[in-house]
Structure 1
């Protein structure tokens, strides 16, 4: 796992969050004097942007973030981003924050998939930094913080090798692999399937310095080419136009991300979990009974059941939709009961049974790294101090 992934994930997710909040605040901006209750003025919007960017790009916070460390789990990152969103006068309820995080994750995942080569991951981050710079262009202090962070990102990542960028990309793909939230705009543009997975094209330009696939060359022991053969690639590839050709392509992806959050298409920002088949929803009773029988043979079994002025912004279309999401989509019911197996006669057997029980238990998501939650707490404490 790459130890240089966290800063890019944080900056990109933070950039997506700022896009969404900026557009939603503009949607509520109908009264400049803020005389109408629940309406955000343009001054309030700019204040929220400046407060969040000031906290996000604080020098001490960024210095801590840029230290080599393992990538946090989704739970820890979501907590950090929630605290970041609440660094201003704005507040988000849990249901709105869940939807916000899902939109951010899917937008970044799609952009990562469209990178022709691992090094182009930096261009996604640079695009977000440029867009954030535009949001705070009237505030010199926040603008200087963004510029300083941009300089540090270039300094840290420009020295990485191609292999390190490949490891970074692999870490990102592992981080995003279980996220299959359906976004209506992606589905409308035929880039996402009904099951929540992206439909990637097998055609287009190849990365700079890479030959068009379809040719196999064979060499002898002295390195001299002895034969050639061709094969069908299943797509239509072309040579890149120039070095850095992803810049225009990446900007198009970024514009697509911005269009997701515009006030003209609020209905297109809806997300939903990918539907699963009835076979997936039904618990595996045979596997549970096998564990119970194993517990009876080796010991005893015990089964348990898992028991200042602040403004509010709602990311849902109506209050009824928000209440429905909060009651039905907040926490999913576990498909399997929690089975605790105690086999005191054989310590080694008890250890193995504990491992099996953990695999079948549908508990809370475990951190990817034992130290990641502690590091996340350190960043949260630092954010509180800011």
Structure 2
């Protein structure tokens, strides 16, 4: 597991959250000044320099519960409010989009291009917002300084860490279903063929070399899908051509009805409908708790926000009432383990003896009475 995967996970999930909220604000005809304020506040808080200093420190990924709570607070960093089902749906959309992007990276370094695409997309949403753009510029510098000089092996470990985080998250998203990028079980359909990764050759040829290094024999075979040579390499400059489209705003070219999810079917996981707007964080890891405390300070959660308005991620009341999040249902079962010990078995005679000694009712002696012992103290 990589200790440097958290920043990429956080930045990409945050980018998708802003994409979705931006689309819903426009779909519900929220006043332009209010919509812009929401976007500005969320981006400024989410990528605040102090908070990014904590996120970029080498550390393990937060638990899924902690990550869910972080974005719950970030979504309410402005005057906008989401009810529990809308927040569940928002997080489902975020996680599935980033999972899809990470899964389709043909080479580990594409993770950086996906991340920079998100930063570019956020920059386009805050034109003429000098302070917010300065925050995104600082974020860009952190990304380049941390990841640009990494080797492919280290980036591949980061990619595997991210995929492990998204494992067993299967939520059907209508955009992916319509494009046949996802099947009815919520699993992605990864394409075959297309451009090969930078620095690799098109499959279909076997070359045999002699001991001296000369070409001895060359065989051709049909690789099946059609492959093309890699195009130009994506730019890591602050403003440049990233080449790949993963990480760009897919909601900008779809109608509001496309930004929906449906219940995952055929899953062994028992899904429970949530009734609260937050996820309980019992015994969170210290790093996550410290960062949540810092985030609360940056947001100013104790201050009452005036002129708050509510945004709904559903098209109608029926859809909202019937929505059950597979991801949130999974969070409720996270880290729950049961160990059954049968002390009556012959292999556990010692435990049986201990349990027998702990039986107060078995004691006949008056001086063993608990109250008497307390009186003697």
Return the alpha-carbon distance in structure 2 between the equivalents of residues 85 and 312 of structure 1.
Answer: 11
TM-score (norm 2): 0.73
1:111/1:250 contact within 8 Å kept? no
Residue among 65, 74, 78 paired with 2:64: 74
User: Structure 1 residue aligned with 2:147, among 143, 146, 157?
Assistant: 157
Separation in structure 1 between the aligned mates of residue 348 and residue 230 of structure 2, nearest angstrom: 59
Q: What residue is the counterpart of 1:238 in the other structure?
A: 228
Distance 1:199 1:326 in 2: 24
Aligned to 2:314: 316
Written as runs of structure 1 = structure 2, the 5 A alignment for 1:189-208 is 189-208=179-198
SS, match of residue 126 in structure 1:
helix
Q: Find the counterpart in structure 2 of residue 48 from structure 1.
A: 38
* Alignment of structure 1 residues 366-377 onto 2, 5 Å: none
The CA deviation at 1:127 is 0.8
**Does 2:342 correspond to 1:343?**
yes
SS at 1:152 equivalent? helix
1:115 aligns with one of 105, 109, 114 = 105
Decide whether aligned partners of structure 1 residues 167 and 327 sit closer, same or farther in structure 2, where only a CA change above 3 A counts.
Answer: closer
Mapped to 2, the partners of 1:3 and 1:224 lie a distance apart of 44
TM-score, L = length of structure 1: 0.71
RMSD across aligned positions (CA):
3.1
Cα separation, partners in 2 of 1:221 and 1:195, compared to 1, 3 Å: same
Looking at structure 2, the residues matched to 258 and 51 of structure 1 have their Cα atoms a distance apart, in angstroms, of: 21
For 2:260, the equivalent position in structure 1 comes to: 270
CA distance in 2, matches of 1:237, 1:322: 43
Aligned counterparts of 1:125 and 1:108: Cα–Cα separation in 2: 10
SS in 2 for 1:46: helix
Matches within 5 A, 1:1-386: 1-29=1-29, 40-219=30-209, 223-244=213-234, 250-251=244-245, 254-260=248-254, 265-276=255-266, 308=304, 309=306, 310-325=308-323, 331=329, 341-344=340-343
CA distance in 2, matches of 1:276, 1:72: 28
State whether residues 169 and 326 of structure 2, in contact with CA within 8 Å, keep that contact through their aligned partners in structure 1.
Answer: no
Report the alpha carbon displacement of residue 220 of structure 1 after superposing the two structures with TM. 5.4
Looking at structure 2, the residues matched to 149 and 328 of structure 1 have their Cα atoms a distance apart, in angstroms, of 32
1:8 is paired with a residue of what secondary structure?
A: helix
The Cα offsets for residues 167-220 of structure 1, whole Å up to 9 and x where unpaired, read as 111112222231221111211111111221222221111112111112233445
Unmatched runs of 5 consecutive residues or more in structure 2: 271-303, 350-377
Paired with 2:71 and 2:190, the residues of 1 have a C-alpha distance of: 29
**1:42–1:235 CA distance, 2 compared to 1 (3 A):** same
Report the CA distance between 1:233 and its aligned residue: 2.1
Does the CA-based 8 Å contact 1:5-1:171 persist in structure 2?
Answer: yes
Q: Retained in 2: the 8 A contact 1:202–1:234?
A: no
Higher Cα radius of gyration: 2
Specify the SS of the correspondent of 1:2: coil
**What are the superposed Cα offsets for residues 45-68 of structure 1, whole Å, 9 maximum, x if unpaired?**
111111111111111100110011
- Residue by residue over 1:8-56, the C-alpha shift from the partner in whole angstroms, topping out at 9 and shown as x without a partner, is 1111111111111111112222xxxxxxxxxx32111111111111111
- Tell me what 2:359 maps to: none
Q: Quote how far apart the aligned CAs of 1:250 are.
A: 2.4
**Cα distance change, pair 221–68 in 1 and its aligned pair in 2 (3 A):** farther
SS of 1:216's partner is strand
CA distance in 1, matches of 2:18, 2:344: 57
